[in-house]
Amino acid sequence: MPSQFFGLNIAYSGLTTSNAALNTTANNIANVETKGYSRQQVNQQATDALRVFSTYGCAGAGVDVLAIERIRDEFYDVKYWDNNAYTGEYEMKQYYMKQIEDYFTDDSKIEGFKTIFDDFTSALAEVKKQSGSESTKSQFIGFAGNLTQYFNGMAGNLEQVQKDLNQEIKLKVDEINSLAEEIATLNKQINVIEVGGGTANELRDQRATLIDKLSMIVDVKCTETPVIDSNNPDRVTGANRYLVQVAGGLPLVDTNEFNTLDCVARTNKEKVNQSDIDGLYDVYWVSNKQTGALGDEFNIYNASLGGQLMGLVHMRDGNNGENFQGTVSAIGLAGKAGENGNPLKTVTVDVKHEYLKDLNKCILSDNGGKITLGNQVFYYTSWEYDSAAEQYTFTIDESLNDANLTETRLGKEAEVGHSTDYQGVPYYMEQMNEWCRTFAQAFNGILQEGLDDYDNPGNILFSAQHETDREQYLFEEALGAKDKDGNEITKVNVESDSYYRMTAKNFNILQALINDSDLLATKYTDQAAAADQKTSIGTDQYANIDRLTNMINDKKVASFRGASTGEFLTNILSDIALNASKANSFYNNYSNVGKAIDNQRASISSVDTDEEAVSLVKYQNAYTLASKMIQTLTEVYDRLILETGV
């Protein structure tokens, strides 16, 4: 049976509930510009009625505030995070493809390949007009030097891009670690509050904002499940397990615990591509945070990686899917010992991809690296290519490996690096290297078949600088050349004086021709001609210049990607333009989709000032009415108690 003061309690409950609603409205209005804040509302219901054992059954007991809840639809959060991963990926690709596109620009303001190559061919035409003129030949050699310097500069630019990408990968990994720690800390704080019966609305908003940031860096999946009391499954503990997984399901945060990542620079013996800069980072899980001990490798080539990290990896390591791949066909002894005296072994790999059969396209490291045979990784110190058998033979130093190389590896798939199906820095480096090797080999070959002004066999024009000294490669051991016994060279190892040693970075002009332009082989005589015919050729003979000019324009003599060598820029720019356009389109599309999802999310969870103004008036009126009810009941109780003598 309710007491005489029952009505006062009912009015009081209405007053406190209205007060809570007013405070919540004030909080919403105060946070109208707070990023990530979710609108809150008071969740209220009628207090359990009292049985009065009368004909009307029960008496209402007022109102209770159940909770102050945030208004948020997790469906839109998940959609936003999924879309963010694509937005972040193409944001990075768009930015760095624009840089590469700018580097290859050739217009009235910037002299690019076409301008420099046109000057080179024009100078060659002048040599034909005055093949006996030393100044004309010197000028041509100078323009040839401009061509080599163009590729040197482009290689330097791409190296800088790769360096920037590598550094940004480390920054993103550090950011992942920082966000993981913050999320784990918030999880602990949220559970402490909610186990006590509260609702940590603001902390949940902060956590969602951190996930927003994380989803831009890497693909994210979040799940929250209630913690069950095993002794009393029906009891609500208030605690939750919050799991954050990245890159397709790898655990990053598990409630209060979090995993961290660390970047480890590759040594010079671990380079994947010949033209990679030193110190590219691989990423590993940290197994012990106190000691910094590393655990398993974090696969940055995972197709589910997503986000800015995936875009950076694709740009840094993208090889158009053309990494080294083959099948192990033989294992043997190398016949020599390693640095520590241990015997070396060899593994022979058959290749079937056409790009692996052309050494001009070779991107294997010249300092050794890692080769995966089946599911085991081995370090190789050198390699050799047999063009006749279409096989590569790698020299393995077992002292560097965790496992011995045995015949169980026969028939296994062999792979160096990873197949990254995107045209990133390694791809454009390889394209430039291929052009330099193809063009130099054809041009030098024609010169070597001619005669210089001293009627001596021609010298090469295009050479490559040694990495460690001022000497130059002469390419006397190139595939197809004749050895000292007159046999065709079909085997080339990593240390051979072959065109593999030429890259866009070390591409240069033979110093002997710079010192004496008369060594340029402008003359040509058929090898079957009599020796005395050579002396009868005049100083202005230019037959070899005609052959050089024809070679430049004839893709049957020397071609780059099915076109003439002069169309290098057209081929490269078509790749760059396509990738840049694709990155722009996808970034704009995903960015617009993200904005649309965020608008939908905001329509539910953000603060609407007009709506809050209406709520303010509504709850103010409710508060006023509750106050008047208390005032009225006070007068009733005053009359009842003081004036009736009850």
Output the six-digit token pair for 95: 């930015």
Residue 389 CB burial class (10 angstroms; 0-12, 13-18, ≥19): middle
Residue 530's pLDDT is what?
A: 38
Residue 531's pLDDT is what?
A: 42
Residue 527's pLDDT is what?
A: 45
Query: 43 by DSSP, 3-state: which?
Result: strand
Segments in 458-516 forming alpha helices (H): 511-515
Query: 364 by DSSP, 3-state: which?
Result: strand
Q: Which amino acid is at 268?
A: N
First to last CA, the chain: 19
Residue 164 CB burial class (10 angstroms; 0-12, 13-18, ≥19): middle
Residue 541's pLDDT is what?
A: 74
Output the six-digit token pair for 130: 């005055």
Residue 526's pLDDT is what?
A: 61
Query: 224 by DSSP, 3-state: which?
Result: strand
Q: What is the 3-state secondary structure (H, E, C) of 25-37?
A: HHHHHHCCCCCCC
Query: 643 by DSSP, 3-state: which?
Result: helix
Q: What is the Cα–Cα distance from 207 to 184, expressed in whole angstroms?
A: 9
Residue 616's pLDDT is what?
A: 92
Please state the separation of Cα 55 from the chain's center in Å: 76
Q: What is the Cα–Cα distance from 413 to 328, expressed in whole angstroms?
A: 6
Per the CB < 8 A criterion, the answer to whether 366 and 384 are in contact is no
Q: What is the mean pLDDT of each run of 10 residues along the chain (646 residues)?
A: 74 91 93 92 88 74 89 93 96 96 85 91 91 88 96 96 97 97 96 90 94 96 91 85 94 95 92 93 93 92 95 96 94 78 88 93 92 92 93 90 87 94 95 94 93 91 90 91 85 93 96 94 66 46 88 84 85 91 96 95 92 92 92 84 70
Query: 44 by DSSP, 3-state: which?
Result: strand
Query: 416 by DSSP, 3-state: which?
Result: strand
Of 306, 408, 395, nearest to 91 (Cα)?
Answer: 306
Residue 3's pLDDT is what?
A: 67
Of 551, 632, 560, nearest to 124 (Cα)?
Answer: 551
Name the DSSP class of 49: P
* Residue position matching structure tokens 């190789």: 380
